Amino acid sequence: MRRFIFKCFRYWHTIRHLKLVQIFARAKFFLPNFKVHQVRKNELRILAGLWTKPAVRSPRMVDQNTFNFLNETHEINRNDWNSSSISKLWLYNLHYFDDLNAYGSSSRSDWHYLLINRWIEENLPFKGNGWESYPSSLRIVNWIKWSLNGNLLKEDWVNSLEIQVRMLSVNMEKHLLGNHLFANAKALIFAGLFFKGKEADQWYQKGKKILEKELEEQVLSDGGNFELSTMYHSIFLEDLLDLVNLHQTYNHELLNGLEQKIPMMFNWLKTMCHPDGEISFFNDSAFDVAPSVKEIENYGVKLKLLELSSFDNKRYLVNLSESGFSRVAFKDVVALIDRSSVKPDYLPAHAHADTLSFELSLFGRRVIVNSGTSVYGNSEERQRQRGTISHSTVVVDRENSSEVWGAFRVARRAKVFNSKDTDNGDIITLSASHNGYHRLNGKPTHSRKWEFSNNFLIVYDLISGKGSHEIDVVFPLHPEVKVFDINEDMVVLGIFGKKINVNFDGNGLLELEKSSYHPEFGASIQNYQLHYRLTENLPISVNTRISW
């Protein structure tokens, strides 16, 4: 009975944040509308300008029947498009057709012709993974981009494409909203300009109405995407560049606000990168899903929407105030700090319990990290990777700071308050608190302060409240970091010949534990975590000095 009550309570704290449209749309979405005409109604529109080669991803085809997604390789035969022995996410990637526009795609064009033929023949209309709205959206865009890149779509392919768009147009993912609905609307825009006719115009207008609304909501005032994932931010930014490219190609007026959002979003993305030029791992993030940051930048430059940029080595603090992230840099140090609450309330699908975590690079190398994302789906490993224990922050009583559960759900969420900054010349200080552990006895509050200079960082953790609690200060280390001398309150780390001293001040015990780092989907690399643990009555303070 107690377990049932807890489950109901957790569902309530999850569902109460949803929008009404999501609740009503969920019932409709799981009864998809298959009443779509399969007769050709639209012609192809004549190009009015030049298509610019877009950003590219890594190739995914090993040979004409073999694919590598998520660091996992399978040969696909006729009945494997919906195989129960292969993960849903892998099969979704199979149906995206990303390889059509990947690195070196022209050398695999013969494979691509065969693949499109196979998809049409082996995926009967309205059946299987490939006809679900999200993979349909990405595939529609990829087929059109491939055509605009100079490849000829055969007549029966164009007919199939039209049916796919028609199916999508009556099965939009309003129960999910966010990046899924945006992808649906983008596909309608692409189809609305690629085709010509009354129906195509309706697709375009429907996509335009959604996108203009979503642009205002999904792009925050500081340029961040509202899901606060650097990976999904990159995908969203690529989407915007594709939309500009498409409208220029057909000499069509841009969507309201589209062009203005792109520099803002790129500045946000650059701010959230390490000195190695790639994204940090806050919330669901990993490499090699979106195009690289450099690819996105080059794409924007070719479209004359961005200028090549770089950060210098001067001391500075950048606050992405609405997103809740900050970047601190000196000559030898770059830190990225998370003082954000779970956002948006109605769509926390890609949120991690990582509140008040941070990532630290020294001498251009990553040292302290969040652990990344390698899996989706409802599994223990997915829970661990989303959990507080996989992030550089404080765990109280072995609980998560936000109640992440299922594959993409969050019940009670940490709220951040009292964010403050001071810049005193040689020292930059940031601080904040969160209430994510108030659901525990004694209502523990975690407050953290970071004090930076060019040769040290001091992290001050205070857990206030009442009662006795187990406190675990966690610092996951990048796999390249070497661990040397360690005792109960200090450790010496090494990164490419440079030594880093980490000293803990508190009543706890320092332990080194093996863990795993997940820079890509399907990738798990052994690393180490520093744990400083103690169990005492609150308030408890732990100060960590990192010097180099």
Structural domains of the chain, count: 3
Residue 7 and residue 48 in one domain: no
Phi-psi region of 363 (alpha: psi -120 to 50; beta: other; left: phi over 0): left
CATH number of the domain residue 442 falls in: 2.70.98.70
Q: In the prediction, which pLDDT does 240 show?
A: 98
Q: Domain limits at 403?
A: 316-547
CATH number of the domain residue 243 falls in: 1.50.10.100
Residue 284 and residue 320 in one domain: no
**pLDDT value at 386 more than 70:** yes
Residue 107 and residue 134 in one domain: yes
Q: How far apart are CA 381 and CA 468, in angstroms?
A: 29
Residue of 107, 105, 85, 88 whose CA lies nearest to 97? 105
Answer yes or no: is 414 within a domain: yes
Answer yes or no: is 176 within a domain: yes
**pLDDT value at 9 more than 60:** no
Residue 368 and residue 221 in one domain: no
Q: How far apart are CA 237 and CA 182, in angstroms?
A: 12
Residue 230 and residue 369 in one domain: no
Residue of 323, 122, 138, 116 whose CA lies nearest to 218? 323
Answer yes or no: is 474 within a domain: yes
What is the percent of the chain where pLDDT is above 90? 88
Answer yes or no: is 311 within a domain: no
Tens of pLDDT, residue by residue over 426-457, are: 999 999 999 999 999 999 999 999 999 999 99
- Under the banding of pLDDT at 50, 70 and 90, the label for residue 24 is low
Tens of pLDDT, residue by residue over 397-412, are: 999 999 999 999 999 9
Residue 1 and residue 47 in one domain: no
Q: How far apart are CA 252 and CA 249, in angstroms?
A: 8
Answer yes or no: is 307 within a domain: no
Residue of 319, 313, 309, 318 whose CA lies nearest to 333? 313
Residue 322 and residue 297 in one domain: no
Residue 188 and residue 116 in one domain: yes
Q: How many residues does the chain have?
A: 548
**pLDDT value at 502 more than 60:** yes
Q: Domain boundary residue among 254, 277, 302?
A: 302
Tens of pLDDT, residue by residue over 130-143, are: 999 999 999 999 99
**pLDDT value at 384 more than 70:** yes
Residue 361 and residue 249 in one domain: no
Q: In the prediction, which pLDDT does 29 show?
A: 62
b/e sequence 104-128, b meaning 16+ C-beta within 10 Å: ebeebeebbeebbebbbebbeebee
Answer yes or no: is 37 within a domain: no
Q: In the prediction, which pLDDT does 425 show?
A: 82
The residue type of 416 is V
Residue 403 and residue 264 in one domain: no
Residue 126 and residue 184 in one domain: yes
Answer yes or no: is 295 within a domain: yes
Residue 22 and residue 47 in one domain: no
Question: In the predicted model, what is the mean pLDDT of residues 477-488?
Answer: 95
